[in-house]
Amino acid sequence: MARETWGTRIGFILAAVGSAVGLGNIWRFPFQVGQEGGAAFMVMYLAFVVLIGFPAMLAEFVVGRKTDLNAVGGIREWAGGAWTYLGGLFVLIGFVILSYYSVVGGWVLRYVVGSVTGGYTATESAAAYFVSIASGTDALLFHAIFMLIVIGIVALGVQQGIELGVKVMVPAIFVIFGILAVYAFGLAGAGEAYAYYLSPDVGYILENWQSLVPAAAGQGFFTLSLGMGVMITYASYLSSDENLALDGVSIVVLNTGVSILTGLIVFPILFSAGVDPATSGAGAIFISVAEALIDLPFGQIVGLLFFLTVAIAALSSAISLIEVVVSYAIDEYGMDRMRATGIIGVAIFLLGVPVTVNTIFVDLYDIFAAQILLVLGGILLMIAITWLHADKAVGELEKGIGDLGSIGSLWIWIVRVPVVLVLLVSLYLGITGYIDFLQGPFAEYLGSL
């Protein structure tokens, strides 16, 4: 059977952007900024995206396009032997991330419904409303609905399912978020918010680098969908000799643009409403947008458009997460796409059920996945690509670009040494931070049961 490919050249970029742009930009980014001290985090995050994310993304691209295989088969063919286990890690990461991603996606769907029924604009407090839907039956129900939609789309296959959604989503995000950012600009708290969000304090960075570094690394990988083979899988559907570097730049720029724009909406609203970004946690985006919509003209319609767009963004990312696992099952076990998607989807749903019980499980899953699993996956991947097969990697990157000369070796050496070193430090700090979380807030939660 011929392998599926993208319908159009632009289809690949759109799908990769669809994977990258998601809850990571709209939900995770603002609450990371809030927890990690505002602009200090922004600086670190931007540095990670440009200096580490971009070269790492190219590395995943070359493996996918060279091998024409799913993430697991691709890494086995690329590096051979024990590296196959790295593929197993990718599959595991896909499972873990999608399980809680779907719960948060369910919150978004719940807010879509809330926009129609007027739920969140009718309450006294946007924060209380968020708490009321974030755990419990509502959360469980909408987690199930979100997974059902993902299963439905992925069962249809790469072209019909994935390409279509993205073509609507990306332009819609920029338009609607643009409108909301202009609204937020007019608020009383805007000045204070911009200072908090955009002017970093060097002293703060120096004092807090031990939590900033792993947080920025985790966010950098998470937001660009790196470290678990998504970009390997997507690049494997490329049939032509595309300029991978140019594609990578477009993806990184669009993705970063959405994150920055989200911050320009969230922080002015939080400051104006007197909500402290440091404590608003996983609810930051939901609380602040609902807060804004209560007194915006046509708030309900804007809200409906906003949460619908976020839902599409979340779905197109969720699709890429499950696609890593599904394409593995299809390629390696000859499973039927429908069956594979159904079985895997149900398993992921079950893994996400605890997350609907209490929002502390969001942190439990999320810190583990982003700051430990993705960074670990990234380190191993970078070693397999640049230390073991540098010539093959440069040769593949040159297809569709032309002779890279010394730029090719520069890329290899950037990934070989500084990228890998910084990631190792991030991983170490991420693990120690996670242990603190387990012994602190999580132990407290368990004790309170």
Interface residues toward ligand PHE, by CB under 6 A: 19-20, 22-25, 97, 222-223, 225, 228, 230, 317, 320-321
Between 23 and 265, name the residue whose CB sits nearer to ligand PHE. Answer: 23
- The amino acid sitting at 221 is F
Closest CA to 398 of 62, 24, 85: 62
Shortest distance, position 98 Cβ to ligand PHE, whole Å: 8
Q: Which two tokens stand for residue 33?
A: 């900024």
Shortest distance, position 41 Cβ to ligand PHE, whole Å: 16
Between 345 and 408, name the residue whose CB sits nearer to ligand PHE. Answer: 345
Between 98 and 302, name the residue whose CB sits nearer to ligand PHE. Answer: 98
Q: Using alpha carbons only, give the angle 30, 36, 37 rounded to the nearest 5 degrees.
A: 95
Between 271 and 286, name the residue whose CB sits nearer to ligand PHE. Answer: 286
Shortest distance, position 192 Cβ to ligand PHE, whole Å: 27
Distance of alpha carbon 424 from alpha carbon 359, whole angstroms: 29
Between 222 and 349, name the residue whose CB sits nearer to ligand PHE. Answer: 222
Between 93 and 412, name the residue whose CB sits nearer to ligand PHE. Answer: 93
Shortest distance, position 201 Cβ to ligand PHE, whole Å: 27
Between 290 and 321, name the residue whose CB sits nearer to ligand PHE. Answer: 321
Shortest distance, position 355 Cβ to ligand PHE, whole Å: 16
Shortest distance, position 19 Cβ to ligand PHE, whole Å: 5
Closest CA to 319 of 175, 442, 150: 150
Distance of alpha carbon 239 from alpha carbon 225, whole angstroms: 21
The DSSP result for 310-370, as a single string, is HHHHHHHHHHHHHHHHHHHHHHHH---HHHHHHHHHHHHHHHHGGGGT-THHHHHHHHIII
Helical packing angle, 244-272 and 54-67, nearest 10°: 140
Between 370 and 412, name the residue whose CB sits nearer to ligand PHE. Answer: 370
Shortest distance, position 1 Cβ to ligand PHE, whole Å: 26
Q: Which residue is nearest to ligand PHE (CB)?
A: 24
DSSP state of 276: -
Between 19 and 121, name the residue whose CB sits nearer to ligand PHE. Answer: 19
Shortest distance, position 323 Cβ to ligand PHE, whole Å: 9
Shortest distance, position 239 Cβ to ligand PHE, whole Å: 22
| Residue 410: Cβ within 10 Å count | 12
Distance of alpha carbon 239 from alpha carbon 408, whole angstroms: 23
The DSSP result for 76-122, as a single string, is HHHH-GGGHHHHHHHHHHHHHHHHHHHHHHHHHHHHHHHHHHTHHHH
Q: By the 8 A CB rule, do 272 and 188 touch?
A: yes
Shortest distance, position 93 Cβ to ligand PHE, whole Å: 8
- The amino acid sitting at 86 is L
Between 272 and 371, name the residue whose CB sits nearer to ligand PHE. Answer: 371
In angstroms, the Cα distances linking 356 to 106, 129, 133, 216, 345 are 10, 16, 10, 26, 17
How would you class 291 by CB atoms within 10 Å of its CB: exposed for 0-12, middle for 13-18, buried for 19 or more? buried
